[in-house]
Amino acid sequence: MSDSLAGTAEVEPAAAQPGAAKPSAAIPRYVEPGQPFNRDTNYIEDRITRDARDGWPVEAGRYRLVAARACPWANRTTIVRRLLGLEGVISLGLPGPTHDKNSWTFDLDEGGLDPVLKIERLQQAYFARFPDYPRGITVPAIVEVASGKVVTNNYPQITLDFESEWVEFHRPGAPDLYPEAHRAEIDEVAELIFHDVNNGVYKCGFAGSQKSYDRAYDALFSRLDWLEDRLSTQRFLVGDTITEADVRLFTTLARFDAVYHGHFKCNRNKLSEMPVLWAYARDLFQTPGFGDTIDFDQIKAHYYVTHVDINPTGIIPKGPDARVWLEPHGRETLGGRPFGDGTAPGAPAAGEEVPTLG
């Protein structure tokens, strides 16, 4: 989904950034005066499974994942796809970080067209299947290449299905990100993180009243303190390996100091001022499959340009210096096996690299 309102496309202000969509006079608002932020969690619930129960079979080359670098929810899918080695099985389309009121656009591609789907807007894939689709045009989305129709945008289920339904296409040495023995705990931890952290930062940033902001702020930092304590004695959130729970937390932590601390008023402290969580986040960032999916320039462009009711000037901050993510973290002393019995993924696929920080 989009980084703001469960994927509802936003409109940039007149001061367009490189690679941004053309500005529009119709600027949606994300802060409803007097109201708390409520995320729309209604998605296209079709699944791609081995038994094709919804009519969509697991099949190499049949689908394209559309996932903007800017979006934390889409970022989950690109991480899991990398860790499991699905790059040669499910292709990746990358919209630009900003867009107009109608849709995410492929303005980073030559001619403004996705090179596989041959469309300018993700909206076209939604309308190809649902001509009167009434909800937000969200990333991540999986599109069937041959028909050009969106299959699903149910981001929590997409990664779980990558892990459990696409097993025959996992690379040799792919880690088990959703081990059966730990699924109940992974689900429990991930649910707490979603409400208080992943979505909690948005509840702060898009709060329409002081009361709703205060409530979200307190819940956010209470949960971060809980995580700081939990991770002080164990390297990863559940068990001794990286799991789906770590993926879900990481994409919010990666954006915290660059965006949420200032832009969303999550400013009790920076992530870099929480020693355990900061070391944990750096540990994951420096793990192949995590940091090599992060583009801080696109992240900042999305938030600071598209949320015009929060940042009406569209000015993008220059800081913080992202090279701090490469500093030693020392988490190896806690033990743990990042990939379990598996191995690290190889280098990113050609054309999928992000800017280096060194």
pLDDT one-digit tens code per residue, 218-260: 999 999 999 999 999 999 999 999 999 999 999 999 999 999 9
The CA angle 21-24-30, to the nearest 5 degrees, is: 95
pTM above 0.85, yes or no: yes
What's the full length of the chain, in residues? 358
pLDDT at residue 6 in the model = 35
- In the block, tokens 């053309």 appear at 22
Question: Residue 124 belongs to what H/E stretch?
Answer: helix 122-129
Q: 237, 224, 142: which is closest to 187 by C-alpha?
A: 237
Is a pLDDT exceeding 70 seen at residue 3? no
- Which residue among the candidates 30, 43, 63, 71 is catalytic per the annotation? 71
How far is the CA of 160 from the CAs of 202, 243, 337, in angstroms? 23, 11, 21
Q: Is 202 labeled as catalytic in the residue annotation?
A: yes
For residue 321, give both structure tokens.
Answer: 């210096």
- Which residue among the candidates 30, 202, 280, 303 is catalytic per the annotation? 202
For residue 60, give both structure tokens.
Answer: 């190499």
Which domains does the chain carry? 183-334 (1.20.1050.10)
Is 104 known as a binding-site position? Answer: yes
pLDDT in tens, 277-324: 999 999 999 999 999 999 999 999 999 999 988 999 999 999 999 999
